[in-house]
């Protein structure tokens, strides 16, 4: 609860107490009985026997509780600090700083894992827009062989890359599990045709390695690093390098 809400809560409570004090005399003072009428229980003599517990419980609560005494006004923040001091608390609240929150977020990254040929590849999910099933593409004249064509996704034209072709891997038979991973590409998007989407994993800083100086069968510029989680090794792709081509 912030300071503004605390001040408002204290202000509301004080207003309620003032209203209760203004109403209390009208509620507690009984009207004078007519001449000759017996005294009502509310104006009996002071030496009347005290109320039993049962009778006291039956009376309204406001008749049993004395009117609260009005002390000096205290700032809500003073009340909070006084309570913390009485409880033996430190003056400084243990709040996480923005730097600590950012550091925790940087301790790991989430990776979408997918299979291309016999290897597991991945991209950061921050580069991911969505995953769709393969669909018919429109051919682009004079485009490289790894460009399957373009698709229209809700009115947005997206080029689709055949990732086996792009990475220089041998072509294989379709198995029905192929998917098009829609990833960010500059100001637009691009589609990556993969053989199978597997899962999303978290990789900590200690689970990521730099890309090897030499990679067999794949352009090193296409790889941003190697991720490891458990027994799984993931080749982390550099989407910007893979899709850095003018298809027009």
Closest CA to 184 of 119, 237, 106, 145: 237
pLDDT at 189: 95
Interatomic CA distance for residues 124 and 236, integer angstroms: 8
β-strands 179-185, 128-132 pairing: antiparallel
Q: 3-state DSSP call for residue 235? A: strand
Delimiting residues of CATH 2.40.50.180 domain(s) in the chain: 109-242
pLDDT at 131: 96
Mean pLDDT by 10 residues, the chain (248 residues): 59 73 56 53 46 50 49 52 50 48 67 95 95 95 94 95 93 89 92 96 89 72 90 93 80
pTM of the complete model = 0.57
Interatomic CA distance for residues 168 and 52, integer angstroms: 95
Beta partners for 114? Answer: 121, 197
What is the architecture, at CATH level 2, of domain 109-242? Answer: Beta Barrel (2.40)
Summarize pLDDT for 98-151 with one digit per residue, the tens.
554 454 556 889 999 999 999 999 999 999 999 999 999 999 999 999 999 999
Interatomic CA distance for residues 225 and 85, integer angstroms: 52
Greatest alpha-carbon pair distance for the chain in Å reads: 116
Interatomic CA distance for residues 127 and 112, integer angstroms: 10
């Amino acid at each position: 609860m912030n300071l503004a809400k605390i001040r408002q809560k204290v202000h509301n409570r004080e207003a309620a107490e003032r209203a209760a004090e203004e109403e209390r005399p009208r509620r507690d003072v009984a009207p004078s009985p007519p001449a000759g009428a017996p005294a009502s229980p509310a104006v009996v003599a002071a030496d009347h026997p005290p109320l039993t517990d049962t009778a006291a419980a039956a009376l309204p609560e406001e008749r049993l509780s004395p009117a609260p005494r009005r002390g000096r006004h205290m700032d809500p923040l003073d009340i909070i600090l006084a309570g913390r001091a009485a409880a033996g608390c430190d003056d400084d609240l243990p709040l996480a700083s923005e730097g600590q929150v950012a550091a925790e977020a940087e301790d790991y990254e989430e990776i979408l894992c997918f299979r291309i040929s016999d290897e597991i590849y991945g991209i950061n999910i921050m580069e991911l827009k969505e995953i769709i099933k393969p669909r018919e593409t429109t051919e682009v004249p004079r485009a490289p062989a790894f460009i399957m064509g373009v698709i229209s996704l809700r009115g947005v034209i997206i080029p689709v890359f055949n990732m086996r072709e792009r990475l220089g891997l041998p072509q294989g038979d379709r198995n029905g599990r192929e998917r098009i991973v829609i990833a960010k590409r500059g100001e637009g998007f691009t589609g990556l045709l993969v053989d199978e989407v597997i899962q999303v994993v978290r990789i900590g800083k200690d689970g990521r390695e730099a890309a090897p100086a030499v990679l067999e069968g794949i352009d090193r510029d296409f790889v941003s690093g190697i991720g490891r989680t458990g027994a799984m090794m993931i080749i982390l792709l550099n989407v910007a390098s893979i899709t850095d081509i003018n298809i027009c």
